[in-house]
Amino acid sequence: MKAEAIMTKDPVCCLPNDTAERAARLMKDNDCGCIPVVEQLQTRKLLGVITDRDIALRGVANGRGADTHVRELMSTGVSCCSPGSDVADAERIMARHQVRRVPVTDDAGSCVGIIAQADLARRAGREVSDAEVGRIVERISQPTDGARAEMHVEPGPSAT
């Protein structure tokens, strides 16, 4: 299956000069935790992403206010996939880089979509249980260096 089949198409984007408050408001209004940061809204050339975690840890935790520019908080050097990439490629990117979302860019580097962990779990339009989503998220989130945190997880109801 191709990335374009499961990605959220044309995600809301922000600009580097936007404020952290604007990015947070976009996240709230669009029920998401990651906003692609683009050069211009018309071309949507991807520069990076800003996440709720970026705002909390790079912003608020360092005493930075709501008026801080996105360019000062965003993550750059983001790994992407193309609309024609296999969804397994997006899953590998998430696992390798320990990220929960992968932007989808076209040949010009324009952001045309985004894939989240839940999209991978629910690919092909099949309904899956929250427990199955949790197992997929856990697999993607495992440390790549072989070190595993000790954690007890109660088994959820099985999907039937």
Q: What is the 3-state secondary structure (H, E, C) of the chain?
A: CEHHHHCEECCCCECCCCEHHHHHHHHHHHCCCEEEEECCCCCCEEEEEEEHHHHHHHHHHHCCCCCCEHHHCCECCCCCECCCCEHHHHHHHHHHHCCCEEEEECCCCEEEEEEEHHHHHCHHHCCCCHHHHHHHHHHHHCCCCCCCCCCCCCCCCCCC
In a domain, 157, yes or no: no
In a domain, 77, yes or no: yes
In a domain, 86, yes or no: yes
Q: Are 14 and 35 in contact (CB under 8 A)?
A: yes
In a domain, 148, yes or no: no
Q: Could you give the number of structural domains in the chain?
A: 1
pLDDT reported for residue 18: 98
Mean pLDDT score, 111-138: 72
Q: What is the pLDDT of residues 44-83, one digit of tens each?
A: 999 999 999 999 999 999 999 999 999 999 999 999 999 9
Exposed / middle / buried, residue 95 (Cβ in 10 Å: 0-12, 13-18, 19+):
middle
In a domain, 150, yes or no: no
Domain that holds residue 121: 3-141
Q: What is the pLDDT of residues 130-153, one digit of tens each?
A: 565 566 556 555 554 543 333 232
In a domain, 19, yes or no: yes
pLDDT reported for residue 139: 59
In a domain, 155, yes or no: no
pLDDT reported for residue 122: 80
Domain CATH for 74: 3.10.580.10
CA 15 to each of CA 37, 62, 72: distance values in angstroms, whole numbers, following the listed order: 5, 22, 12
In a domain, 152, yes or no: no
Q: Is the pLDDT of residue 21 over 50?
A: yes
What is the pLDDT confidence band of residue 110, given thresholds at 50, 70 and 90?
Answer: very high
pTM for the predicted model, two decimal places? 0.78
What is the pLDDT confidence band of residue 121, given thresholds at 50, 70 and 90?
Answer: confident
Q: Lowest-pLDDT range, 3-7, 85-89, 95-99, 144-148? A: 144-148
